[in-house]
Every structure is written in C-alpha cells, then in structure tokens.
Amino acid sequence: MNWTILLVFLFVYLGMILGRLPGFALDRTGIALLGALLLLVTDQLTLTEAWLAVDVPTIALLFGLMIVSAQFRLGGFYSRLTLGLAAADRSPERLLALMIAASGLLSALLANDIVCLAMAPMLVEGCLRRQLNPRPFLLALACAANVGSAATLIGNPQNMLIGQSLELSFAGYLLDGGLPALLGLGLTWWIIARVYRGRWHCELPPLKVEAPVYDPWQTRKGFLVLILLVAAFLVAPWPRELLALAAAGFLLSSRHLASRRILALVDWQLLVLFIGLFIVNQALADAGLLAQGMQALAATGVDLHQPGWLFAVTVPLANLVSNVPATLLLLPAATHPLAGPVLALASTLAGNLLIVGSIANIIVVDQAARLGITIDWREHARIGIPVTLATLTVAALWLWWRAGMIAGG
C-alpha cells in the first residue's frame, strides 16, 4: 500500500470536511492545491502525470460558462430582475413563488453559485423596501438555486463534471433531471410558505446596495449568446466545452466591457479546487487504493455500481465533504446507464440539507450577514431538512421508475 498517497488523500478530504486547516489560513481550495503539490514534491506523480490527471474539457466548460454568467452580472440583469420582482404588487406567497421560479430557471442555465451571489444582496434591499422579512426569500433563493440547477448538465459544477466525464447527452439528461427539479421547486415553495405563514413582515430599516447599472444592450447580448449556446448543446454535434469557449471568446471581444472586468468575475478558486482534486483522486486511483476501497465496500454488500447504493452513499458524502469532492470520488463507480442522473440529482439535492452542503447556501448566508440579516443553522435547517427530504424522495421515486424502464428494455 502506498501510504504517502493515502495520507495525502485523507489530509485533503479531512480538509474538505472541516472547510479549513486548523492553525492555517487555508480554505478548501488551498488544501486541495496543497495536496496536489505534496504529491508532486514527494515524487508520487510527475508534472506530466499531474497535467494528464486534470479533466481539461470540464475545466474549459466551467470557465466558458463563468464568462457567460459574468456578462449578465456586468450588464446589471440580476439586480434589475431581483428588484423588479421584489417591487411587484403581489402577496408574499406569490412573490415567493416568482422568486423560486426565477432563481430555479436561471440556475438551470447559469451557474447557481453566480445566481446566488448576484441576487442575494438585491433581494435583501427589495424586501426591506416593502418591510418584508428577507429570510424566507433568501432561503428560497438558495434552495431553488440548488434544486433548479439539478435540471441540466450546466446548472452547477458537479453536473458539468458528471456530464463531461460520462459523456452524457444534454437533452437526454434533461429528461432525467427536468421533472424532479420542476416538482422540487413546487415543493420548495410549499414548505417555505407553510413554515413562514403569518411571519412575512418585519420592521428593519431599508438599505441601499451598490449594483451594476442595468445595460439593456449587454443583457440582450448575453441572452442571445445563452440561447444559441443552449440550442447548440441540445442539437449540435460539437463538444460542449468548445461551444462554451467559443461563447466566452465572443463575449470577451467587447468594445465596451473590458476583458479584465469580465475575467475578474471568473471563480478561479473553484477552478483551482477542481484541478487539485483531479490530481489527488487520480493518484489514489493509479495506486489502486480507490478500487480496493470499493471492493471492501462491495464485500459488505454496498455495491456502488448499483444505482440504489450510489444514491444512498452520495447523499451523506456530499454533505460531509461537499458535493464537488464527493462527485469526483464517486465517479469511478458510475458505470450503470442511470449512474449519471443518480449522481447528479443526489449530490445536488443533498446540498440543501445543511448550510455547508453547497456553496450556494454559504454564499446566500454570507451575503445576508454582510447586510445585517442573520440566518443561523437552525433557521436554515427548518427549511433545508424538509426541502432536502422531499426533493430527494421525488428524485428517488423518479429514478427508480426510470431504472425499471431501462431494465425492461
């Protein structure tokens, strides 16, 4: 057994659980990068082997879609939409439904983390203008962003990884993920509306949040690119990463938006996290340790190659180490025809259980705290736990039916 690789792997995934390294200013990204560097300096991998371990198409797809999302942020679309929804002459329950529908749809087409980052501060401002309690709407934003992102292969980083690694059809996955996501958004509205019934209003003073000025031309340009890109994903034979890079190149070639402003909104931390985890997991696989671990689990009756067990293990693991590291670790077991949708739906929907279960949750809570709105783990759990259980139940039943259809030919 290669103890160096095993110790580095355990160090990295312990860091994923804790979120930081005690005594050091290292977050999850820094820990993953440090793990990869340790493998290099201890001669467990060469630079060439480390480079080959990185799934370049996945990194390229992530980068391209981040540029598309940045276009909408700089064009002021998110702020215009969020404030417009908050100002709509609707009851709190209907406003909640509109917010869930908007954030769910946007998260299915754009990275859910970016949607939350852009919309959360404006949502607080819009709610306080109407003396509405922003907490149920913020929780709805986070939950709907996670649930909506499960609908497509571009809604979140782990789905992009799964789609690229397993070479899933964009349209084919939409059939598997679309219905559970749609029903999940409805359940999210019902749960939040019941929990906060009669507690919609507050007396906090209004505030003003700085946001990009709305630019109709840049927003229309972004929508044109996004529509063409999704259409190409659905019908074109070209690789998704090349289509996303072509869209990014077009948007970067702007006469008005400086490329440095667009590139400043790329989540470089997430890209480095992916690269570090790719290298660490590949070293584990090359040493045979990953296969040995799966064989040991299979000996106890837990066969991760079966969709039921894969679903059951993904849910707690995604909450333990976060959904992206969990997905990377479980991908080698994704051999069943339905393994891609199982892994994507389970890892994404499980993210609503706890605040640390997904980056989208953390972003919303942090953005709210900066504006004086506290959402502690108890308040989140009152929504997150029932939303997670309800949406996972729907997904499990749908996937069970789909598995039966596949088995029946």
Q: Count Cβ atoms within 10 A of the Cβ of residue 24 and give its class: 0-12 exposed, 13-18 middle, 19 or more buried.
A: exposed
> pLDDT tens digits for the chain (409 residues)?
588 998 998 998 888 888 788 888 888 889 999 999 999 999 999 999 999 999 999 999 999 999 999 999 999 999 899 989 888 888 999 999 999 999 999 999 988 888 998 899 999 999 999 999 999 999 999 999 999 999 999 999 999 999 999 999 999 999 999 999 999 999 999 999 999 998 898 888 888 888 788 999 999 999 999 999 999 999 989 999 999 999 999 999 988 888 999 999 888 988 998 899 999 999 988 888 888 888 888 889 899 999 999 999 999 998 888 888 889 899 999 999 999 999 999 999 999 998 878 888 888 998 899 899 999 889 999 999 999 999 999 999 999 998 877 776 6
pLDDT for 111: 81
DSSP string, 56-100: HHHHHHHHHHHHHHHHHHHTTHHHHHHHHHHHSS--HHHHHHHHH
DSSP string, 67-78: HHHHHHHHTTHH
Question: Residue 87 and residue 62: Cα distance in Å, rounded?
Answer: 33
pLDDT for 17: 82
- Count the Cβ atoms, other than its own, within 10 Å of residue 11: 15
pLDDT tens for 242-252 read 999 999 999 99
pTM of the complete model: 0.90
* Residues 144/105, Cβ–Cβ less than 8 Å: no
* Residues 24/4, Cβ–Cβ less than 8 Å: no
pLDDT for 1: 59
For residue 125, the SS3 value is helix
Amino acid at 10: L
In the chain, pLDDT over 90 holds for what percent of residues?
Answer: 68
